[in-house]
């Protein structure tokens, strides 16, 4: 399925990709030995590492939920992840993306199995070239599966952008900084393999009809991401089973 997009033949992306083409992707699980589950997701020059710890007893006790477990996500951009060194530690953006990651992942987790417990997910962006929240969500979803946390579905995430009037998938930093015509619009989308959107944001301006086109593009792109996530998990299982023989 290919989505028709105005100006497809005229518009050229800075890196030469087609409008619906993802950056080269690498994915691997089991990258943090002391974690209960971990994963690396690399999209172009953006690299995210996620590590899962738990489920474990929630402390302090007054934060325990007797009905279900709690998911805590901690997103952090390492100070050397960009060319202009950023100040280490928490800031408003990192706290916002931590919550976004939680919202994107919670719908697929069977947290009712873990009353009074907590599952911690730590996400570090060690190299950044746009799409960091999507890379973090993809890494975190794989890490949760690798940790054996029961999940109803896998979550995959990708950004869809509008550069002036043209929709493109998986923006780079150069494309995020595009300021010709109507300027840039960034739409990070997270969805399950079955097609349910678990979270979507909109930064910029877009019409209703073109927003639907963006969602359709995102659905196709997320399916490609899913296949890579699934292969990384399957490769880890195959390697583990091979090592036991």
Count of CB atoms within 10 A of residue 114's CB? 22
Tokens of 192: 């399950």
Residues in the chain, pLDDT under 70:
1-11, 81-89, 178-183, 243-245
76 domain residue, yes or no: yes
Statement: the pTM of the whole predicted model exceeds 0.95: no
160 lies in which domain range? 25-244
What does the pLDDT read at residue 85? Answer: 59
What does the pLDDT read at residue 7? Answer: 40
106 domain residue, yes or no: yes
117 domain residue, yes or no: yes
CA distances from 217 to 51, 66, 152, 194, 237 (A): 29, 40, 24, 15, 31
CA–CA–CA angle 206, 210, 211 (5° rounding): 70
11 domain residue, yes or no: no
Tokens of 73: 């996500």
Q: What is the DSSP string of 159-170?
A: EEEEETTEEEES
Count of CB atoms within 10 A of residue 120's CB? 17
CA nearest 117: which of 71, 69, 150, 73?
A: 69
194 domain residue, yes or no: yes
Number of independent structural domains in the chain: 1
Reduced DSSP (H G I as helix, E B as strand, rest coil) percent helix, strand, coil of the chain, to 5: 30, 30, 40
pLDDT per position as a tens digit, 27-61: 999 999 999 999 999 999 999 999 999 999 998 88
CATH at 110? 3.30.230.70
């Amino acid at each position: 399925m290919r989505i028709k997009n105005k100006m497809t033949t005229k518009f050229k992306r800075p890196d030469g990709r087609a409008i619906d083409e993802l950056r080269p992707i690498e994915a691997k699980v089991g990258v943090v030995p002391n974690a209960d589950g971990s994963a690396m997701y690399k999209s172009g020059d953006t690299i995210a590492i996620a590590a899962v710890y738990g489920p474990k007893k929630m402390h302090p006790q007054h934060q325990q939920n007797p009905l279900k477990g709690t998911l805590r996500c901690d997103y952090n951009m390492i100070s050397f992840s960009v060319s202009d060194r950023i100040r280490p530690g928490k800031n408003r953006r990192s706290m916002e993306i931590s919550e976004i990651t939680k919202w994107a992942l919670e719908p697929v987790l069977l947290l009712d199995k873990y009353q009074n417990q907590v599952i911690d997910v730590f996400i570090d962006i060690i190299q950044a070239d746009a799409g960091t929240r999507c890379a973090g969500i993809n890494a975190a979803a794989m890490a949760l599966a690798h940790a054996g946390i029961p999940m109803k579905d896998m979550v995959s995430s990708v950004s869809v952008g509008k550069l002036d009037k043209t929709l493109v998938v998986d923006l780079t930093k150069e494309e995020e900084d595009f300021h010709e015509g109507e300027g840039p619009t960034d739409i990070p989308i997270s969805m399950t393999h079955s097609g349910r959107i678990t979270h979507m944001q909109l930064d910029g301006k877009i019409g209703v009809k073109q927003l639907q086109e963006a969602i359709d593009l995102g659905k196709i792109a997320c399916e490609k991401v899913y296949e890579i996530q699934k292969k990384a998990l399957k490769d880890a299982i195959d390697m583990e089973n091979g090592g036991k023989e």
